Structure 1
Amino acid sequence: MTIRLRPWQDAAVRKALTWLTETRQDRHFLINAAPGAGKTICASMIARRLIEMNEIDRVIIIAPRAEVVRQWAEEFKFVTGRPVTRVTGADGEVDDYGTDLCATWAAIQGLQDAFQQVCMRSNTLIICDEHHHAAVQASWGTDADSAFAEAKYALILTGTPIRSDGQESVWLAFDSHGRIDHPEAGSYTLTYGEAVSLGYCRPITFHRHEGRFSVVVNNGEEAIAVSGTDSPSIPQSLKGIKGLQQALDFFKLACTPKYLPDGVTPDTNSYQASMLEWGISKLNDLRDTVPNAGGLIIAPSIPVAQYMADLLEILDGEKPVLVHSQLPNAEARIASFKNTNKRWLVSVSMISEGVDIKRLRVLVYLPYAQTELAFRQAMGRVVRSLGDDDYSRAYVVMPTHRILEEYARRVEMEMRPADRVDESRPRQTKLCGVCGAENPKTATSCSECGNDFPARSERFKTCEDCGQLNPISADSCQNCGASFRAEYDITLNEALRLGAIVRGMDLDEDEVRASEANKTVIIDQVLRSGDDLLINLIKQVPEEGLERLRRILNRD
């Protein structure tokens, strides 16, 4: 079967084959290409060519998670025609059928000897996806180095080659600044900016989302203003309050859910709601030209993800797909979203790398990890192209935050000036999601196939200064210029909560709150069990850590 490669893929295949089979200076070849540029197809073609040249007998692919393993198996078979046995747990079989294998990084830990035997018996190519996971000093890196020491070749794939913790990855050399220092002849690099210029990835626009919090102290008599642009001014009389400076962190306040007095219903007058309103408006616009365009929300924790999902359902009218590690069949939920017309996907970290959902176009980014690696992995989810006729942009709405802004500027500088400018204009037409026909923007059904367009209710907000109606996503009044920058009140006690460090345990605030709310139930369950080991254990666990203990016991 003939497969038409992109020019960069063809060049990378030729360069890899020269390095591995002719130069033979090193058994490792590095492909450092932007997320969404097509590394999977490129690597699969290199494997196919090595098989055809009788250089290798088997291929082992390592990927970050089960959903990515599934994607690899499908695309690898499409390119090579060879079936792949998927291994996503330590109890998997790696040699029974003699087939090519695709395993998660986590699976390697319990199957080192089995993988090592495969490499010793067969000429094996290792394809290492998202290589930043394989730190020399980390368990996954150590396990991979041992399991694949006898592999004939290793193809290393990455779009974010620098780990956030500064550790070096196995099989590669690094310079004094922590950047990969692999020989140029043994590497192929395609930056995000180059991928945009070539049409492989969509250009991206970053929207900083401002907000103002008023932290109320002294029973409401004083308030300290907190924003993402200005350092808070703390009165001299309050500077002695322990932890106050940390409590006034804008990003922390931006990640704090706000509920109505019932403590259950999300408050639509919240910072997160204003972010979501902007995202909803942008997604509505994009769906005129990309009818199945979707949005992704990355939240800092599972409770905040649930809060965002509930809030989004109130604001958008459609229940989003929620995925996180504690939900059953999370990977199936991801696959289902990929193949439906659902608007929004809400996650914590399960969608941040490797997962290929090309229709994603809007990212609401409120993460836990504030690293450049996590930032670029997240933006990679929304820049993938739907094809030659896809002229849409990708959009990220994120908090006004110095670190995130620095990462965004670096991405911006990779793009050509022409690609940095958002030249989108309100279109007077929209495309049918069934037949692709172009219709007037006001049409209620397609003139070609009769498909009904979903009703879209325009949402507006009223300027308190002049009474003028404005689009919900407007930053300021179109009539009088008054700022719509939202302000939110929060008490000092709420702001001071940062989790706990108790007896060597570094606990998240969500765990502390859950422990406080459920401690009586947890202790009662343990006592009722009659298990002396558990009873003795719980006596040694501080109250703040009870939720952590409960989760560990449930997981096991």
Structure 2
Amino acid sequence: MLREWQKQCIAKLIEQYQHKSDALVLATPGAGKTLMASYVAKQLIDDRKIDYVVCFSPSKVVSHSIRSTFEHVLERSFNGQLGALGVSRTYHSMSSINELISSLSKSRVLVIFDEIHHCAGDGDSPANAWGLSLLSTIQNLATYTLSLTGTPWRTDTLPIPLARYSNPEGHIQCDFTYDLLEAIQDNVCRAPHITAIDINQVVVRKGQESNTYQSIQDLIENGDISYRLILKQPEVIKYMLSLSIQKLNELRTTSSNAGGLIVAASYAHALQIQAILSGHFGKSATIVSYKQEDSAELIDRFREDSCEWIISIAMISEGTDIPRLQVCCNLTDVTTELYFRQILGRILRMTEEQTAIGYMFVLAEPDLVEFAERLNQAIPDSYHYEQTDRLLEGIENPNNQSNSNHGYHDYVQDTFSDIDVDDIWGNNVDELINHSTLAELSMSSFKSRIISYYI
């Protein structure tokens, strides 16, 4: 059954297509943009306005999900073969799209662009070359276009194809908007509850030199330590996992299929997290990444079963529909606002069986904290803050050791045990340990800051 916002959006778009061919819809992640778009396509087909539908999306996983939704709503195959009403493709397939363009050149076509910001390009960046291809070919091909986004900007500020700008600053003029506040009020999306984890004290040793820092921000700004290195620390991973596991266990007492998402920085990092999750907490987890050909099948299987944890490397960020995900342990080193909101959206999809709050645990990296606070701009006067000293001050790390200092060789083995160090450095582990850019980090305790929707 369609939600009220979807009905209103469909009606507006169908009316708008009477006098213009392009439309842009902004709807918060988890609101149901794909289902809405499928009913727009159905209406245009029923009205004999179009003959065929082409959908583009950022990944194979999302493309597969779109195909399933459109096949269900249109009650016809959507695989691009003879007799199908349409096809679902990825943006990266545009480099080999000539055959599709040729076969549809004389048809009336609705082209749907999911997460349209992936198509940005100004001609100067090779990475966005297919954005220009989109402008020069697809726009001329389509009878109608429908662009969808849940995050209507790009960090690199490149222009988005087919978007109409309301002013020189590049603010996008959307034809229909459905924001997170509305979705929460309508019980369409969960309210976000974000816990930012900081370090009470960390000692950094480089050779004979030793320095102490009082926060992640202090460590990054003054300690010459990368955020990625902090994310690889076993103490950090254990502590972040302990909070996430505790929350998911609590939720599963009333909803046995509630699931948790862990976002890793790399495949090696995902293996490290999986090993700690299993060895320290006795929990199993599925890893999905671009390296695995069966990732789509693994995600589908996780969506339908009741397993607790899935670890993702750039696979479950936007458009991937796993409504039972309710807890996210954010350990990626990507610190853009776009990616932050995309990940957050994975745990905000509402279900009847689960509570109306999605929980994210993230390190207090300065940009990420700012992004969490900036959610207040989308939900005015609906966030509150608790002072750090009222929270988990002084809690020891989860291994319950009074002294968390690790030998440096142990640290290197813990961090790099899942990759071939020789392949990276062309040398042995001892030389890796003595490399000037590496440092030993010793952490004593953590503290938390809660950034939560006011219920």
TM-score by length of structure 2 reads 0.82
**Aligned with residue 108 of structure 1, among 79, 82, 94:** 94
- For residue 17 of structure 2, the aligned residue among 11, 16, 20 is 20
Whether contact under 8 Å (1:84, 1:99) holds in the other structure is yes
1:246 corresponds in structure 2 to: 224
Task: Give the letter aligned to residue 95 of structure 2.
Answer: Q
Q: Which moved more, 1:196-205 or 1:95-104?
A: 95-104
Are residues 1:354 and 2:354 paired? no
Corresponding residue for residue 271 of structure 1: 236
Which amino acid is the alignment partner of residue 119 of structure 1?
A: L
* CA deviation after TM superposition for structure 1 residue 139, in Å: 2.1
Equivalent residues of 2:154, 2:338 under 8 A apart: yes
CA deviation vs aligned residue, 1:98-155 (integer Å, no higher than 9, x gap): 53111111222112x2232243221000011011111133123123223412210000
The answer to whether residue 369 in structure 2 is matched with residue 369 in structure 1 is no
Cα distance in structure 2, aligned partners of 1:354 and 1:196: 18
Map of 2:5 onto structure 1: 8
Query: What is the Cα deviation at residue 327 of structure 1?
Result: 2.5
1:140 to 130, 135, 145: 130
1:74 corresponds to: 68
Tell whether the 8 Å contact from 2:67 to 2:78 is kept in structure 1 after alignment: yes
Q: How many equivalent pairs are there?
A: 407
Distance 1:141 1:217 in 2: 45
**1:345-424 correspondence to structure 2 within 5 Å:** 345-387=310-352, 390-415=354-379, 417=381, 420=383
Does the residue aligned with 1:214 lie in a helix, a strand or coil? Answer: strand
Q: 1:55 aligned to 2:49?
A: yes
1:514–1:294 distance in 2 versus 1, CA, 3 Å: farther
Q: What is the CA-CA distance between 1:343 and the residue it aligns to? A: 0.4
CA–CA separation in structure 1 for the residues paired with 2:180 and 2:422: 41
Change (3 A) 1:246 1:177: farther
Conserved? CA contact 2:110–2:143, under 8 Å: yes
Tell me if the contact between 2:322 and 2:346 (Cα under 8 Å) persists in the aligned partners: yes
Query: For residues 126-185 of structure 1, what are the alpha-carbon distances to aligned partners after superposition, in whole Å with 9 as ceiling and x for unaligned?
Result: 011011111133123123223412210000000011012111111113343333135xxx
Work out the CA distance in 2 between the residues paired with 1:151 and 1:29: 12
Aligned residues of 2:55 and 2:112 also touching (Cα < 8 A): yes
Q: Given residue 182 of structure 2, which amino acid in structure 1 is its aligned partner? A: E
Distance 1:512 1:165, change over 3 A: farther
Higher RCO, Cα 8 Å, sep 6+: 2
- Please, which runs of 5 or more residues in structure 1 have no aligned partner? 86-93, 235-244, 259-269, 423-473, 477-481, 496-509, 521-556
State yes or no: 1:199 paired with 2:187: yes
Deviation at 1:301, TM superposition (A): 1.1
Aligned partners of 1:107 and 1:14: how far apart in 2? 31
1:203-237 deviation per Cα after TM superposition (whole angstroms, max 9, x unaligned): 01000111232111443x63332522546797xxx
- Report whether the alignment pairs 1:30 with 2:15: no
Whole-angstrom CA distance in 2 between matches of 1:232 and 1:154: 44
Aligned to 1:151: 142
5 Å matches for 1:188-227?
A: 188-211=176-199, 212-219=201-208, 222-225=210-213, 227=215
Identify if the C-alpha distance between structure 1 residues 346 and 7 changes in structure 2 by more than 3 Å, giving closer, same or farther: same
Q: 1:232 to 1:65 in 2, by over 3 A?
A: closer
Paired with 2:34 and 2:243, the residues of 1 have a C-alpha distance of 33
- Kept after mapping to 1: 8 A contact 2:239/2:397: no
How far did residue 513 of structure 1 move?
4.1
Q: Cα deviations across residues 369-428 of structure 1 (Å, max 9, x unaligned)?
A: 2111101110011000113x543310000001110011111224433656x469xxxxxx
Separation in 2 of the partners of 1:132 and 1:41?
A: 19
Cα distance, 1:62 vs. partner? 0.8
Question: Runs of 5+ in structure 2 lacking a partner?
Answer: 123-127, 386-390, 412-417, 429-455
Q: 1:475 aligned to 2:395? A: no
1: CA distance between counterparts of 2:213 and 2:368?
A: 21
Aligned sequence identity (%): 27
What SS does the aligned partner of 1:351 have? coil
Q: In the superposition, relative to structure 1, how do residues 214 and 196 fare at CA in structure 2: closer, same or farther (>3 Å)? A: same
The one-letter amino acid paired with 1:107 is: S
Moved more, 142-151 or 162-171: 142-151
Match for residue 177 of structure 1? Answer: 169
Q: Aligned partners of 2:424 and 2:268: how far apart in 1?
A: 15
Q: Which letter maps to 1:255?
A: L
Query: SS of the counterpart of 1:84?
Result: coil
Query: Does the residue aligned with 2:96 lie in a helix, a strand or coil?
Result: coil
Contact in 2 for aligned 1:294/1:344 (Cα 8 Å): yes
Aligned with residue 58 of structure 2, among 61, 64, 88: 64
Aligned to 1:131: 116
The C-alpha deviation readout for 1:508-549, integer Å capped at 9, x for no partner, is xx99945246679xxxxxxxxxxxxxxxxxxxxxxxxxxxxx
CA distance in 2, matches of 1:512, 1:356: 35
Distance 2:236 2:182 in 1: 35
Determine helix, strand or coil for the equivalent of 2:311: strand
Return the index of the structure with the highest Cα Rg.
1
Shift of 1:77: 2.0
